[in-house]
Structure 1
Amino acid sequence: MNFVEELRWRGMLHDIMPGTEELLNKGMTAGYIGFDPTADSLHVGHLTQIMTLTHFQRAGHKPFALVGGATGMIGDPSFKSHERNLLDENTLQKNVAGIKAQLENFLDFTGANSAVMVNNYDWFKNFGFLEFIRDVGKHITVNYMMSKDSVKKRLEDGSGLSFTEFSYQLLQGYDFYHLWKNENCALQMGGSDQWGNIVTGTEFIRRKDGGEAFALTTQLIKKADGTKFGKTESGAVWLDPKRTTPYQFYQFWLNTTDVDAKSYIRIFTFLDKAAIEALETEQDAAPHQRAIQKALAKDITIRVHGEAAYQKAVKSSEFLFGNVGIEFLNELNDTEVLGLFEGVPNFMISRNDLENRINAVDLLAGYTAVFPSKGEAKKMIQGGGVAINKTKVGTAEDFFNTDHLINNKYLVAQKGKKNYFLIIAE
């Protein structure tokens, strides 16, 4: 497998420094990508770089994943409109630990080209300021640093740039130098917004030690409509199941547009060209079957959360849109239940009130506002259009109590087939 060609046909490659392909063709090369520990979990926006490192390893090269425990204290200003809040050391260390655990699910840390995880805090924690400006700062001119597009953009838009942020490219450049010097790491990779920082590293290596290093960047992923990839109305889509449940994660990919799905299945899966083209043919013949979205959602959900979580996510979809019974909710924890019903109207009810039995009309239009009036609730019940816990309510006098609670906490009401309401007893 040729790493660069793999990125090319998948539509991932953006920029590549001359000589990089020749370097990679000579044999196993060490290369790295940095991850900013601004949270204790990565999100789907990081998946492009995770996949890049994984393809790099699959092509026989040695991947380094650098977690920026030190640079995370500053924040990369590249194409950001405002300076980030600085994180304290304890928060950063917690974030680093969370990211490490997630990266270990993607990369192989055994074998001849085993992945290596490093934290730049390890070499910066005892690096004094005077030593840094003497040994690093003198090699890169201010003019060179000011020429970077990411710096010029911040200065031109009037938001300014602190010295802390301005120094970031020196810190990232030194990361590259440290790995080049100590780990024979000759290639740095990243998103296209990182080109300036990466090239600063190659320039620092050349000026300080007369060495040669290389750069490669990938496309920044956007939706076909130009909006940011990886964001939903409720925020980022995380890899941590406590932040984004496997069902929500699965639905994110399943709901991808046809245009985006054709791009994403190349970028975010290991399916080969023939398999992807077969899916495209199938999709074109029957778009309503959403063959690409289903294959995409399955592949990524299994890789991030495992087969069991994927099966539960599929079953969750069938619960809402198919014929899976209410007993399925007993298989879910509270986070998963609330994730399943995200965006669905929620109503709170007192457990004490439920102890005394409540008839259907009072439950749906008195203790909660599933219906705006008792008359409307009664009318729809009589028409057979109301269900609680997926069982049709027969009469307005049907009663409910704590024995009906799912997981000893929930009642699920439905108006018709598609309008769900979650009633939570506390």
Structure 2
Amino acid sequence: MTDILDELTWRGLVAQTTDESALRQALADGPITVYCGFDPTAPSLHFGNLVQLILLRHLQRAGHQVIGLVGGSTGLIGDPRPTSERVLKTKEQTAQDVERIAAQVRRILTSKEGAEPVFVNNLDWTAPISALDFLRDYGKHFRVNQMIKKDAVAARLGSEQGISYTEFSYQILQALDYLHLYREHGCTLQTGAQDQWGNITAGVDLIHRVDGGSAHALTTPLITDSQGRKFGKSEGNAVWLDPTMTSPYAFYQYWLGVEDASVVALLKTFTDRGQEEIAELERQVAEEPYRRAAQRALAADVTTLVHGADATEQVVAASEALFGKGDLRTLGADTLRDATDELPGGEVAPGDTIVDVLVATGLVESRNAARRAVADGAASVNGVKIADSEAALAPEDFLHGQVAVVRRGKKNLAAARLARA
């Protein structure tokens, strides 16, 4: 596809635009400058933010100039949620989170393809504005009757808690960002998630009212599974891009576990693979689902994008080694720890027998059951089958001085963690 808007639509990255035909023409006549903002509401970006970064990468490869904005000022205020007021973080906390998120944005947007991206912090132009100037120069261009129509604001106005003026003013700040980037960088397109439509169009309107200019908006759909449930949550926890919050191993496993009904759509959205390649993976999902080829491709591509090729190689090796297709002893200490963190297990010590270990890690319910497992050839430690029920763990069985991986049968794994004195 030569039309970037057609490609973005095929990839499931377009929910709304202000004027599709005008935007299509602007992109064709380009290059244009496009931005997306990321607020430091947490120490890391997450699954949902990754959609916006990938969208910017597609536009960057198509020859357009991209700007990654981190919200040092908007992060101090907080975009209103439909449910409750945000707890304001200190300026020091926000500044720390800005640095961490800016590093993530830089890493993902910096590419050998397309123009070098621009990175900005909206605190730089918002902080010098006085309260009087903010109200006179910008607040006068907003109508409250329009502002309260935003979904999150309307929901809060209808609740007992209501909404503070602080959060109510958020959309003015975001609109100011668009106006500033329009003036300073010639930016004429802002992207964001579908729930940002009101904030983004407020910026479009402000540019028109103040400077008489024309600008565009493009939002991405909410990413959901085949049941309509929001993706990006794993047992109530966000899938973070920071490796200290969601390890590369857990990140890879999340994508590897995607259901067949959703994997093709996610391949389109989250990878650079083309139509023919994705069509072949779709065929494999239909005809050979047990191979999970599409899930493996998805997990490898996204993990490489976020954490790098070396991390992906390590987590793939760990995943295979845990299930007997590789050597656990070749894994690095961090990867081994991440791969075994989620396994059931218990503390054991050198000298404990395999029977002791099987019981301590919960792989069997009794010592008799443990002996039967050994006699049946169903017990192993670090991939090595144990045939003697009196065999004991040696100090070197605790890989990196941390853990021994114990198996009963083909699928039952546990972590025998070294007991600390």
TM-score after normalising by structure 2: 0.92
Compared with structure 1, are the counterparts of its residues 213 and 37 closer, same or farther at alpha carbon in structure 2 (3 Å cutoff)? same
Compared with structure 1, are the counterparts of its residues 73 and 21 closer, same or farther at alpha carbon in structure 2 (3 Å cutoff)? same
Q: Which amino acid aligns with 1:66?
A: L
Superposed CA RMSD:
2.1
Task: Specify which of 21, 24, 31 is matched with residue 21 of structure 1.
Answer: 24
Partner of 2:415: 422
The Cα shift of 1:49 comes to 0.4
Partner of 2:56: 53
Task: Specify which of 352, 355, 366 is matched with residue 361 of structure 1.
Answer: 355
The Cα shift of 1:75 comes to 1.1
Partner of 1:332: 332
Q: Quote the Cα distance in structure 1 between the aligned partners of 2:41 and 2:191.
A: 19
Partner of 1:71: 74
Compared with structure 1, are the counterparts of its residues 100 and 161 closer, same or farther at alpha carbon in structure 2 (3 Å cutoff)? same
The residue correspondences of 1:343-422 to structure 2 (distance < 5 A) are 343-349=342-348, 354=350, 357-365=351-359, 369-422=362-415
Compared with structure 1, are the counterparts of its residues 360 and 295 closer, same or farther at alpha carbon in structure 2 (3 Å cutoff)? closer
Q: Quote the Cα distance in structure 2 between the aligned partners of 1:322 and 1:286.
A: 22
SS where residue 13 of structure 1 aligns?
coil
SS where residue 241 of structure 2 aligns?
coil
Q: Quote the Cα distance in structure 2 between the aligned partners of 1:379 and 1:258.
A: 37
Q: Quote the Cα distance in structure 1 between the aligned partners of 2:287 and 2:392.
A: 50
Q: Quote the Cα distance in structure 2 between the aligned partners of 1:111 and 1:231.
A: 31
Partner of 1:120: 122
Partner of 1:282: 284
Partner of 2:37: 34
SS where residue 284 of structure 1 aligns?
helix
Does the 8 A contact of 2:344 with 2:362 survive in 1? no
Q: Quote the Cα distance in structure 2 between the aligned partners of 1:140 and 1:89.
A: 27
The residue correspondences of 1:303-322 to structure 2 (distance < 5 A) are 303-322=305-324
Partner of 2:131: 129
The residue correspondences of 1:66-145 to structure 2 (distance < 5 A) are 66-78=69-81, 80-108=82-110, 113-145=115-147
SS where residue 422 of structure 1 aligns?
strand
Q: Quote the Cα distance in structure 1 between the aligned partners of 2:297 and 2:355.
A: 43
Percent of aligned positions that are identical: 39
Q: Quote the Cα distance in structure 1 between the aligned partners of 2:272 and 2:358.
A: 49
Compared with structure 1, are the counterparts of its residues 283 and 173 closer, same or farther at alpha carbon in structure 2 (3 Å cutoff)? same
Does the 8 A contact of 2:191 with 2:217 survive in 1? yes
Q: Which amino acid aligns with 2:208?
A: R
The Cα shift of 1:243 comes to 2.1
Q: Which amino acid aligns with 2:99?
A: A
Does the 8 A contact of 1:176 with 1:202 survive in 2? yes
Q: Quote the Cα distance in structure 1 between the aligned partners of 2:86 and 2:77.
A: 8
Q: Quote the Cα distance in structure 2 between the aligned partners of 1:234 and 1:161.
A: 26
Q: Which amino acid aligns with 1:422?
A: A
Q: Quote the Cα distance in structure 1 between the aligned partners of 2:169 and 2:417.
A: 51
26-35 or 231-240: which moved more?
231-240
The Cα shift of 1:157 comes to 4.4
The Cα shift of 1:265 comes to 0.8
Partner of 1:3: 4
Q: Quote the Cα distance in structure 2 between the aligned partners of 1:35 and 1:193.
A: 14
Q: Quote the Cα distance in structure 1 between the aligned partners of 2:356 and 2:116.
A: 63
Structure 2 gap ranges (5+): none
TM-score after normalising by structure 1: 0.91
Q: Which amino acid aligns with 2:333?
A: N
Q: Quote the Cα distance in structure 2 between the aligned partners of 1:294 and 1:364.
A: 31
Does the 8 A contact of 2:347 with 2:416 survive in 1? yes
SS where residue 377 of structure 1 aligns?
helix
Q: Quote the Cα distance in structure 2 between the aligned partners of 1:343 and 1:246.
A: 13
Q: Quote the Cα distance in structure 2 between the aligned partners of 1:288 and 1:109.
A: 35
SS where residue 98 of structure 2 aligns?
helix
Deviations 1:126-170 (A, max 9, x none): 222222112111111211211223321222344421111101001
Does the 8 A contact of 2:345 with 2:415 survive in 1? yes
Does the 8 A contact of 1:2 with 1:59 survive in 2? no
Does the 8 A contact of 2:263 with 2:294 survive in 1? yes
Structure 1 gap ranges (5+): none
Report the count of equivalent residues: 416
Deviations 1:69-102 (A, max 9, x none): 1101111115x31222212122222222222222
Q: Quote the Cα distance in structure 2 between the aligned partners of 1:59 and 1:388.
A: 51
Does the 8 A contact of 1:108 with 1:114 survive in 2? yes
